[in-house]
Amino acid sequence: MHFAGGNCYSFQFMTPLLKDFETISLELPGRGRRINEPLLTDFNAAARDVYDQLTKKLSDGVFLIYGHSLGSYLALRVANMLEKAGLAPAYLIVSGNAGPGIEDRETRYSLGEEAFIDMLQELGGIPPELLKNKELLNFFMPILRADFELAEKNEMIHEPAVNAPLYAIMGNEEEEAKEIANWARFTKSTFSHEVLEGDHFFIHKHPAKVAGIIRECKNQVALLQHP
């Protein structure tokens, strides 16, 4: 599940490293293949959209859910929704934030244009060519603002813990990296975490490592099923 401003192509840098998986990259309306659909700014509506996409694609096989940043919030909510429907994920993997209740409830989505761009540059992961191209910037700005609004108005501080094991990953330059263990509150099962070198988009620096963690989680599930 993609980060703010992302789409179904956002993890193409990692999927070649997961050839032993069937990978399903989802996207919210208003970008990628869904560019003609209206953007969502309501977190519950976004979670329902993701849930509807997933339930149409899931078979009877074991599956893991991975989300980065905004995608990690959606991953947690959707995992709860799937559990209630009897379609529980075998593992939940989250990255790029320290989980609900840690963020300072900023409203970055409402920043002025210059301040918003400065904030994006601080996070990293924004291609310089995008910032230099006014037309491209004008195209992506509404998408980014909508996604930040989703992330910042998620109302998930009291989100129930899932039954699935949970693995959290962050970059050591992320402001809240020291709070990563907060994610332990959101699982009734085992919790693991790791902090890698890098900023908010450390995943681009460590694709093999992140893919290895996903594979490790899958192997743990296999061991539980066939001890």
Q: What is the pLDDT of residue 181?
A: 97
pLDDT digits (tens, 9 = 90+) for 28-61: 999 989 999 999 999 999 999 999 999 998 877 8
Domains, in order of start, for the chain: 15-225 (3.40.50.1820)
Rounded Cα distance, 193 and 38, in Å: 36
H/E element, 194: strand 191-196
Percentage of residues of the chain with pLDDT beyond 70: 94
**Which DSSP symbol is given to 111?**
S
| SS3 per residue for 165-221 | CEEEEEECCCCCHHHHHHHHHHECCCEEEEEECCCCCHHHCCHHHHHHHHHHHHHHH
pTM over 0.85: yes
Residue 26 and residue 18: Cα distance in Å, rounded?
16
Q: Which residues pair with 95 in a beta bridge?
A: 68, 169
The span from the CA of 137 to the CA of 160, in Å, is: 37
Query: For residues 83 and 162, is the Cβ–Cβ distance under 8 A?
Result: yes
* pLDDT one-digit tens code per residue, 147-204: 888 888 877 888 999 999 999 999 999 989 999 999 999 999 999 999 999 998 999 9
Q: How would you classify the pairing of strands 64-68 and 91-95?
A: parallel
